Amino acid sequence: MQECYIKDFPDKIDQEIIIKGWVANRRSSGKLSFLILRDGTGICQVIVEKALFPDTYSEIKKLPLESSVIIQGRVVKEDRAQGGFEVHASHVQIVHVSDEFPIGKKEHGPDFLLKNRHLWLRTPRQIAIMRIRDALIRHIRTYFYTNDFTLIDSPILTTTCGEDTSSLFSIDYFDLGKAYLSQTGQLYLEAAISGLGKVYCFGPTFRAERSKTRRHLTEFWMIEGEMAFYDHKQNLDLQEDFVSYIVQNTIRDKAQELAVLERDLAPLKKIEAPFNRISYDEALDILHKNGSNIEWGSDLGGDDETVITRLFDKPVFIESYPKKTKAFYMKQDPARPECVLCADLLAPEGYGEIIGGSQREDNLDILMQSITDNGLDPERYDWYLDLRRYGSVPHSGFGLGLERTLTWICGLTHLRETIPFPRMIYRAYP
């Protein structure tokens, strides 16, 4: 007798096997009971014949959903069954009789589902999303690996703020005062490029975001690349190549899971470099023509991004933002000092920003000025300023939000389903 997984059934036809899993669904018709079993690798139908189970049939027939079982039986090819196979049971061991599962066929509101996230995770849509997430992460890592980037794990506890001081989570760090949960690994990547050339990090990042939107988490995963001797344009070329690669590979790999989500793949198949590039000024023109009265110098909001991305069927870079809307480290445009050499990449179909990136300020004096102008304490940045004292080079990088990218690929309306246990302003349970 061989223990196996449902995914291995094509090699097990007509063999007697053992599988272990959960009852995802069931129905019975007099002499037969059909259990839909989920084992973590797939779904199959198990047929339990009343005549073979005189003592236990009545219990099996009424097994509550999500009960766990071990089934022994024969694998039979059956094109009409979900997955193409069924198991004719010869032995059923009930491991645990489940309490009544709170998530059923009826519609549940998001609050209920999020409160029950630990249980919601085992339902078909959520399983599909987690598998797509896994594949996306794998392709991201492969891209960096095959393009000669070295992984640098940046710290989560930091004493230097990388982005906006208003969204820092701070903690008391022994006798050293305040430390923060990392908002970005970028500053540390900038240190690593001088030894390693092209580097990346991929880890959880934290923002005490007060915004309660469909695009904001307080804990999310970010992939950041940093490249020595790359200018702004080379940075964008790399980003569009990277995004095309991860989208095409993920949708090819996970077509089945995307079908569970009823994602239309046609718009995603078009995601190929080159992407569109417009300036911040052009973006403002578009918004003004669409009835907005946004003023030069304001950052674009989520709704503004939605308006712009609906006009393009590929991602669009918005370049050259006003310096005052962006982080202190971005390189001032020598031709236009009120702007910085940066771009946000907006995903189409209304999804909005998935990448923020820029060339970095490599001039010590301008950077120092920028740090003080932003009200930051230069002492905490002394190590970072050293990078402009010892072999400073032009360099650039970017950060891609994993959950925003996944929300787009999966075609979801809210990013909360793309992370196993979402953390948002009003939610840290379970």
Q: Which residues bind ligand 4AD (CB under 6 A)?
A: 162-163, 184, 186, 207, 209, 216-217, 220, 222, 224, 353-357, 397-399, 401, 403-404
Q: What is the CA radius of gyration of the chain?
A: 26
Contacts of 412 (CB under 8 A, 6+ apart): 129, 261, 418
Tell me how crowded residue 107 is: count the other CB atoms within 10 A of its CB. 7
* Contacted entry of ligand 4AD, Mg ion, none for residue 418, CB cut-off 5 to 8 Å set by kind: none
- CB closer to ligand 4AD out of 163 and 257: 163
Give the alpha-carbon dihedral of 134, 135, 139, 145, to 10 degrees.
50
Site for Mg ion contains 42 (CB under 5 A): no
**CB 331, min distance to ligand 4AD, A:** 12
| CA distance linking residue 423 with residue 204, whole number of Å | 12
User: What residues does 180 pair with on adjacent strands?
Assistant: 158, 170
Tell me how crowded residue 60 is: count the other CB atoms within 10 A of its CB. 21
Residue of minimal Cβ distance to Mg ion: 356
* Contacted entry of Mg ion, ligand 4AD, none for residue 207, CB cut-off 5 to 8 Å set by kind: ligand 4AD
**CB 299, min distance to Mg ion, A:** 9
Q: How far is CA 365 from the centre of its chain?
A: 37
- CB closer to ligand 4AD out of 47 and 341: 341
**CB 205, min distance to ligand 4AD, A:** 7
- CB closer to ligand 4AD out of 6 and 227: 227
- CB closer to ligand 4AD out of 73 and 397: 397
Q: Tokens 């669409």 label which residue?
A: 290
Site for Mg ion contains 21 (CB under 5 A): no
**CB 146, min distance to ligand 4AD, A:** 20
- CB closer to ligand 4AD out of 164 and 253: 164
**CB 180, min distance to ligand 4AD, A:** 13
- CB closer to Mg ion out of 197 and 203: 203
**CB 337, min distance to Mg ion, A:** 21
Among 225, 356, 357, 397, binds Mg ion (CB under 5 A): 356
* Contacted entry of Mg ion, ligand 4AD, none for residue 314, CB cut-off 5 to 8 Å set by kind: none
* Contacted entry of Mg ion, ligand 4AD, none for residue 398, CB cut-off 5 to 8 Å set by kind: ligand 4AD
Of the ranges 64-72, 84-92, 102-110, 349-357, which one interacts with Mg ion (CB under 5 A)? Answer: 349-357
**CB 371, min distance to ligand 4AD, A:** 15
Interface pattern 387-406 for Mg ion (x via CB under 5 A): --------------------
**CB 269, min distance to ligand 4AD, A:** 22
* Contacted entry of ligand 4AD, Mg ion, none for residue 216, CB cut-off 5 to 8 Å set by kind: ligand 4AD
**CB 339, min distance to Mg ion, A:** 16
- CB closer to ligand 4AD out of 73 and 357: 357
* Contacted entry of ligand 4AD, Mg ion, none for residue 42, CB cut-off 5 to 8 Å set by kind: none
Contacts of 177 (CB under 8 A, 6+ apart): none
Binding region for Mg ion (CB under 5 A): 356
